[in-house]
Amino acid sequence: MRILITGICGFVGNTLASGFRQGWPDWEIVGLDNLVRAGSEMNRRALRERNIKLYHGDVRNPSDLEALPRCDWIIEAAANPSVLAGVDGKTSSRQLVEHNLAGTINMLELQKNWRCGFTLLSTSRVYSIRALAAIPMETQGDRFCPSPNPAMPGVSAQGITEEFSAEPPLSLYGACKRASELLACEYAGSFNLPVSVLRCGVLAGAGQFGKIDQGIFSYWIHCYRARRPLKYIGFDGTGHQVRDCLHARDLLPLIARQIEQPSAHAPSVINVSGGLGQSASLRQLSAWCADRFGAHPVGADAKNRPFDVPWLVLDSTRAAQAWVWKPQIPLETIWAEIAAHAEQNPGWLDATAD
């Protein structure tokens, strides 16, 4: 079995490549990365030492893909993963669309030519910002939670299901992912090839290149330890906004199962997320950080930003039913792993800053 991982030097790509090398030693792993993400070059040497063949190339350039050996499965993890991408003045909207949508189309063409399987790392950001903002919320302790029985399609007691609205506004990032999802499913249907779209909530773990608009749990823990300024932004500056959190290693058994035993009957699109049991507000994360590192003041800015949502927790029941999958690594273990990494790598934020 030969697997191609795009974005292999990024947080998810590197975690998957290293995990497959360890747990599935018979698989050959090949990776592609253009090293555009600050810090990604740091993973190169370790990947090579694990006998993983790396290609320095760009998913936007079909000619960069010509050198790749034919693979049995493609895992598409190359992207600009920020919800602010294309509108933050750091990357243009065209650049984002080229990386996150045109790049995926090139990889789908490769899938068609190779007649192989395809996994798309998608996101909870395919769900409608307006609909998410319309879920009635109440405050319980230090966090928001939906009012009982909100009676909205796609909201279960466990969180947002795959039936939730995916109508714009989604952010340019979310829209590129949604378009990539649709095309991935269409290519699979048109050419009779296996596909898996994984809608991930926040992924986290040691070695993540966190920033305020992406990898929030890692970013927060690193900043708290380093005594850098932190602020609760939006929602009256309360820090009550909630996300769920999944260790990227928890993707390994699911993706491996899908590669080893692809099922034509399993749903192509599934939520894969930490869920309610692994969710927390920023204020709860700060309390955990204060216990670990000692107190550090957190400021507040009450003004909401366009892409902020109060509560985004995914219901992964479909993944559990179809693939007997559930998260294994508890929230506090993930946070402790990030904290230990932050203590061992005090220069991490500077080394991975844009």
Q: Which two tokens stand for residue 222?
A: 């690193």
* Site membership for ligand NAD, residue 7 (CB under 6 A): yes
Contact between 208 and 280 under an 8 Å Cβ cutoff? The reply is no
**242-247 vs 279-281, strand pairing mode:** antiparallel
SS3 label, residue 28: strand
Contact between 210 and 77 under an 8 Å Cβ cutoff? The reply is no
35-38 long-range contacts, Cβ below 8 Å, gap at least 24? 35/9, 36/80, 36/99, 37/9, 37/10, 37/209, 38/209, 38/351, 38/352, 38/353, 38/354
**Which of the stretches 75-83, 85-93, 128-136, 275-283 binds ligand NAD when contact is defined by CB under 6 A?**
75-83
Q: How far is the CB of 33 from ligand NAD (least distance, A)?
A: 5
* Site membership for ligand NAD, residue 197 (CB under 6 A): no
Among 78, 145, 329, 339, binds ligand NAD (CB under 6 A): 78
Q: Which two tokens stand for residue 347?
A: 């220069």
Q: What angle do CA 161, 256, 219 make, to 5 degrees?
A: 60
Q: How far is the CB of 203 from ligand NAD (least distance, A)?
A: 4
Q: Which two tokens stand for residue 79?
A: 């992207």
Q: How far is the CB of 154 from ligand NAD (least distance, A)?
A: 18
* Site membership for ligand NAD, residue 31 (CB under 6 A): no
* Site membership for ligand NAD, residue 249 (CB under 6 A): no
**Which of the stretches 3-11, 181-189, 228-236, 290-298 binds ligand NAD when contact is defined by CB under 6 A?**
3-11
**Partners of residue 281 on adjacent β-strands:** 242
Among 2, 21, 24, 35, binds ligand NAD (CB under 6 A): 35
Q: How far is the CB of 109 from ligand NAD (least distance, A)?
A: 15
Q: How far is the CB of 192 from ligand NAD (least distance, A)?
A: 25
Binding mask 101-140 for ligand NAD (x = CB under 6 A): --x-----------------x-x-----------------
Euclidean distance between CA atoms 184 and 195, whole angstroms: 7
Query: Which residue's CB comes closest to ligand NAD?
Result: 10
Strands (E) located in 69-191 = 73-76, 117-123, 137-140, 143-146, 155-156, 159-160
Among 20, 33, 194, 339, binds ligand NAD (CB under 6 A): 33
205 Rama class: left (phi>0) / alpha (psi -120 to 50) / beta = left
Report how many residues bind ligand NAD under the rule CB under 6 A. 31
* Site membership for ligand NAD, residue 331 (CB under 6 A): no
Q: Which two tokens stand for residue 176?
A: 């590129």
State the residues that interact with ligand NAD by CB under 6 A: 6-7, 9-13, 32-37, 40, 58-60, 77-81, 99, 103, 121, 123, 200, 202-203, 209, 215
